[in-house]
Every structure is written in structure tokens, then in C-alpha cells.
Structure 1
Amino acid sequence: MSAFVIDAFEFSRLKERREGDVPVASMARLAAETVNTSASLHWSLQGGSDTLNHPQLIMSVSGSVELMCQRCMTPLKFAIESESILILAKDEERADEIDALLADDTIDVIVGSKALNVMELIEDEALLALPLAPKHDVCPNNAALNDLMVTKKPSPFDVLKGMKQ
């Protein structure tokens, strides 16, 4: 994955905005989770500050990837639509203070840097959006599964009752 590095604090201060597309194949960790790496994700990054004047980044990632359905083991299209608010802190100690002050689970506090790799941020955002166990709502070829569910095994109690007679 080619690096796209920004000074996170300067990016936020100047309220810069960048966006683009990145191939799934160029993100090793995400590619390992997918069955087809030909897709790409659209991303945008907006700098600014929150109501308490903390520098922040708003990261959004969208696109469609193919995952393996854990029920029928066939490909499953999954739409990624994710947006995160990232408050920037100078160090871990300050990050913990800001996190406690905000007490908001919808906002992430991260340690910013003068060399923040945006591509890693995009990949992290996409990975966090994936389900732990992807499954179709209704599997496309589940005839075998349906046969197993329809075929009723005799109750062990019915078998015992038959033996008693």
C-alpha cells in the first residue's frame, strides 16, 4: 500500500479536505478478509475542530467488498458505509484525558502525528466496518441446508418407546 502521509494537526488546523479511491488489493489486511480483491473503496478525510476546539478528522469510507459467507461458504457482497470522528491528541496521556472528558463512544480519540499515514487509517476504518461472521440473510444455494433441516430425525424418546412395546 502506497503511503499517503499528512501532518494531522496542520491538516485539521487548515480544515483541509482530501478524497479518492483506493484498491482493496493494495490493503494487505483488508485483502486477506475478502474473496475478491478487484474492488476499490472511496474515502474522504476532512480536517477541522470540535466544539471544544480539539483538532479533529472526519474519515469516511464507502464501497462494496466480497466476503465469505460463514453459513454456506459462498461469496457475499458487503457494503461498507462508515464515518468516524477522530479527535487528535498530542500523546497517549492527553488522549486518555480527552476521551474521559468527552465520554462519547461515537468519537475516537487518537494520537495525532506530523506523519500520519492516511492509507492505514482508511484500511483500519474499512476493517472495523466488517462483520465478525459475515452471513447472507438467505443463502443463495441452501438446498442441502434446507434438506438437513426438513429431514426430521426420530426423537430418541420415540425410539425408546418403540423398543418398550
Structure 2
Amino acid sequence: MIAGFPGQTSMSAFVIDAFEFCRVKERREGRIAVCDLSRLAEESADKFGAIHWSLQGGSDNRGHSQLLLSVSGSVRLICQRCLTPFEFDVASDSVLVLARSDADADEIDAFLADDSVEVIVGSRTFNVAELIEDEALLTIPLSAKHDVCPDQLAPDVERGAEKVSPFAVLKSLKQ
């Protein structure tokens, strides 16, 4: 079951009328397992974890329908440096202004000229799970890496073991 929408158990049922949601200033929040978000699950090292979300409808000061979306949680990614899994914190707050068509979205976006606001096309069958998944995916770096990779070779160096030069090995073979 998808938390936050009682009675809805599948991704396809996770749908709202986005304009009505904004008009009545509705608020929902919940949790979706990473394994239920196919694109996010493909990016993760395993299917464990969850994304917590909240969605608030309303309007901006110009009367445009607006959604405030917050997502947080963690997913396990593969470090591109050392190829081991690590926890990555997903955290994002977005302001989404709704337009009725692509043309309207372009017009509103040009009018607002605000990079902190994203203009998207809303609908009466708006898939909230896809919106949450998109937002979580946008937080993941293109090349995920540990801040500091676990160093598997460091214990020998730290114990004072002297590193043997490959040229010294070749010299001993020559004799």
C-alpha cells in the first residue's frame, strides 16, 4: 500500500486531479518504498529504502495553481570510484507551478523568469508517484561517490609495512 493515499495499492492508482488538489489547498504526505519506484530502484544498489514525501496544493501570488513538493529519504548507490555501496541522502523541496499545456508552460515559465520555480503541465489524472520519483532521481548525482572511499589497502601501509618498489623486484630477478 502506498502510504498517504488510503485504499490505493498500486502505482497506477496513485493519481490526483492536480488542479482540484491546488484549488482546495489539499495536503498529503506519505512514504513510498524504493522497490515501488522502478526507475529509482534501477539506479540503486539494492531495492531497500524509502522516500518520505509531502505534497501541498495552493496557488502563487499571481493565481497560478502551485504544488509544494518535499521528498527525503535514503537510497543505496554504488560508488563510481571504489564500486562499493553507500547510503545517499535524498532531500529536495520544490515549487511546481501547473500549466494546462506545454505552450502555457512555456509562456508561464518565460513570464515568471524564476529558476527556483519549475513549471510543469498538470492534469486531472496527475500521477503523484511519478512526480515523487522524478524529484528523487534529480537529487542523485550523475557519478555517485563516497565523500571518502573506504581504503582497503591502507591497513598494510598504516602498520608500517614498507612498500617494495617494482624496480627492486626486477633487479633481484636479474641477479
Decide: shared fold, TM above 0.5. yes
Separation in 1, partners of 2:164, 2:22: 61
Partner-residue secondary structure (3-state), 2:137: helix
Is residue 96 from structure 1 mapped to residue 96 from structure 2 by the alignment? no
Separation in 1, partners of 2:28, 2:164: 56
Q: Which sections of structure 1, spanning at least 5 residues, go unmatched?
A: 155-165
For 2:136, the equivalent position in structure 1 comes to 126
Is residue 10 from structure 1 mapped to residue 20 from structure 2 by the alignment? yes
Separation in 1, partners of 2:93, 2:164: 45
RMSD: 2.1
Among 83, 89, 97, the residue aligned to 1:79 = 89
Q: Would the alpha carbon gap of residues 28 and 153 (structure 1) be closer, same or farther in structure 2, given more than 3 Å must change?
A: same
Judge conservation of contact 1:22–1:42 (CA < 8 Å) in 2: yes
Q: Shift of residue 153 of structure 1?
A: 9.1
For 2:79, the equivalent position in structure 1 comes to 69
Separation in 2, partners of 1:97, 1:46: 24
Q: Normalising by the residue count of structure 1, what TM-score does the alignment of the two structures yield?
A: 0.85
Separation in 1, partners of 2:164, 2:113: 52
Separation in 2, partners of 1:153, 1:126: 47
Separation in 2, partners of 1:152, 1:16: 68
Q: Percent identity?
A: 57
Q: Which letter maps to 1:69?
A: C
Separation in 2, partners of 1:129, 1:57: 18
Q: Normalising by the residue count of structure 2, what TM-score does the alignment of the two structures yield?
A: 0.81
Q: Number of aligned pairs?
A: 151
Separation in 2, partners of 1:103, 1:142: 49
For 1:29, the equivalent position in structure 2 comes to 39
Runs of 4+ in 1 over 2 A off after TM superposition: 141-144, 150-154
Partner-residue secondary structure (3-state), 1:120: helix
Q: Shift of residue 51 of structure 1?
A: 1.2
For 2:127, the equivalent position in structure 1 comes to 117
Q: Would the alpha carbon gap of residues 101 and 39 (structure 1) be closer, same or farther in structure 2, given more than 3 Å must change?
A: same
